[in-house]
Structure 1
Amino acid sequence: MQFHRRIAAALAAGALLATSGVLAEAAPVYDPPKPAVTVYNTPGVQFVNGRTWRTQCDMYSSNVVRCRTEIWATQVIRQGTRYRQINGWAFNNLTYLPSDRDLWKGNNLAHNANWTSTDGRRWRTECDTSTTGRGGCRSYIYAWVVASVDGGYRTQQRWIFNNQVQFSSSAVPDVTTVPKSALARAVLTPTGFGPIQIGTKVSDMHGAYLAPGNLCSEHRASAEVRALGVDLMDYRNATIGNLWSGSNTTPIGDASGVSTFRLGMTLADLRAAFPGKVKLVTRNSEGGAFQGAAIQEGGVELLFHKDWEDGDMMKLLPTDVLTVARAREASADHFYGC
């Protein structure tokens, strides 16, 4: 039953990508920008293409990294003669990160092959095809799955994508250590903080990056996120609406990438780091109106302000030190009535 459960879950998720050589990439800004963060090569939870993904990476050998990707999905399991659906984490695939092709000599996962494993299961591998792309291999296993047939379910055998091997080249460097997590590479921008973006549905997060909130918000950031100097609020529509930092170690950027600006610097420094992008705005809060500096992208902004005790809050001067940055909707009301 366990094997049927694993494969059926992946089918229900519709996420095995067995017919496409393109890997889904996350939209947020990360530092460093390369290698590009994807759900296949970066540890952590990500919310991509309307789905929730979880990846763990470890050392497969002394110089090859393997990542296991799961997806939150509706799983179909067979119990006796009946089928039922459950929601939870389901296996999606394994990814062996870029390494020298010579390291894989004699390994069936890294050359065109058909074979039967010691446990009697059939496997096949294809390499350097239109499906895998140049510099990669994909392996499939012939397995019993629970498939949707004519409005019901049936157990049948099918080739299922299981893993991919990526080879290094002059353009693709070796990955010889476990990569930093998506959260550890996150940059605070107008749209959010790495995998946590403004508008992310709390229901899609399944508890990731969240902790119990307070009077103003049902949730706040988890200890893992707060350790990076960032906290959050969700709002009545149950989406992430506000992410902020008061830490001078939090990377600050916009759609073009990470900047040299850090909290504790001045408005003049902010303008120098984001030439032509900083706009002075008036915002309302429980403490009254104040003037802030905003970097806006579409309907969201990264809003900066000084300490409330630091002089006239309606006048933000070039020499004023900016101590808080908030990713939020670009609206006049600062705390949304909280």
Structure 2
Amino acid sequence: MKRKVAWALAAVMVAVSAAMGGTVPARADVNPYITEGTHHVNGRDWRTTCEPYSQTTRCRTEIKATQVSEVGGRFVVRTGWYFNNLTYLPSSRSLWKKNPLGSTGTFTGADGRTWSTVCDTAETGRNGCRTYAEARVIEPYQVNGVWHYKWVTRSIFNNIVQFTVAPVVKPSAPPVTTASVTLPDAKLRECINVSLRKPITSAIPVKVAATITDLDCTESKVSNLTGLEQFKNLETLYLDFNQISNLAPLRGLSKLQNLSLAGNAISDLRPLGPLTGLLSLDVSDNRIVDASPVRTLTSLELLSLSTNQVRNVAPVTGLIALTFLDLSENDISDVSGLRALTRLEGLSMAFTSVDSLAPLAGMKKLGFLDVTNAQISDVSALTSLTALEALFLDGNSVEDVTDLAGLKKLSMLSLSGNGITDVAPLAKLVNLEWLMLAINDITVVKPLATLPKLHILGLWDNPILDRASLDPLVARGCMVMFDEPDDQDDSWLPGIQAVSQMPARR
């Protein structure tokens, strides 16, 4: 069976950032909507830039928040600066007479969306208007304790127009600086300028570089990181899916906590050795053979080495703070050194040559385990892992599932492509909601009819003799699949498939 479920971290789900809904700050000494610079107001960080606009001044405000976005068909959790609203500083009401942003009403914008404006209300105050735009946003929802994401249409706060009641006071100009960062890679310069809302070819002053704490240059065609060494205060850096091979410019970024470099051409991790403050690191889908430089990163809580050429897991065995580890799609067979990682909550060893689960027996906090397409036949070591909620063992040589009967918290279990004949022990897993048993040797499925919470059951490619015994499941709405679903049908996939890469540190 094709592997249709990517590694997901079942315990880590996040809500869409309040920034998408236009957060309104509480009363404070500084009004972040009209004051240039970075401010801490109402427990949140705000960043504002202002520029001339027609006969007034327009200020753009961003808020630092955690947000869910869709990248390459996957929902991805990111922390950074996100748009909050635009504010047009006080100007004569007559200037807005023909502009729908300056009078109460509803209109259709050039983008085809519905916009609505309210003016001079208790919400806007006298001599002011607020405009809301119809937008498609990602919204989390929960079904049976499992988080999902969906696209919805909402009316989102977009801008404020202020009318003059006193002389207009324009914000002071930012200080002039001459020293600029040297960035040979035009695409890197462009990405940074886009994040600063500046023309893409603008020079970036050294003083400005020192103010940047979060940078996302995912899929930006960046190949040369020279110049990033000047961004001394970076805490979060996303450089996924670029053309990067040399990490030397990152060596001195001692404040980095979250670093994502998935999908590049990296083979040498040595420049990351000094970054001992890192909490999360994703170097999946690169060319890494030697992972030994990660030994020094003892603060790491999240680590992905997926889809590389790593054979030796020894470098990670001392990272005892790890809670999530992805070793999938490497040429790994011996994981005995993982015994010390007792804080792990999520572990993937899918598509490896691992043949024993014994080293996992002490991982009492493990809630997610993926050992798809390995060489497992004995699951007795899992009997002590009573915190498990999601377990994937597709494509192994498991025949006896008796040792899984005590894993009462399991809500997701995938055992397709094994040699299972007897499913009676699974009838004790009363919290199961999603169960895959395709491509086995099962003839009797009646024991599964008693599972009270089951709503997805895959049984294709089995010599089943008592299909009718599952009629009660079907009658109460459970999707029972005796035939393999079409490749275009994803309705049977588990809810957690939305989060399919290492989560951002929040």
Q: TM-score normalised by the shorter chain: which range applies?
A: 0.3 to 0.5
Scaled by the length of structure 1, the TM-score of the pair is 0.44
**Relative contact order, CA 8 A, sep 6+: which one is greater?**
1
- Structure number with the higher strand fraction is 1
Which has the larger share of helix?
2
Taking structure 2 as the reference length, the TM-score comes to: 0.30
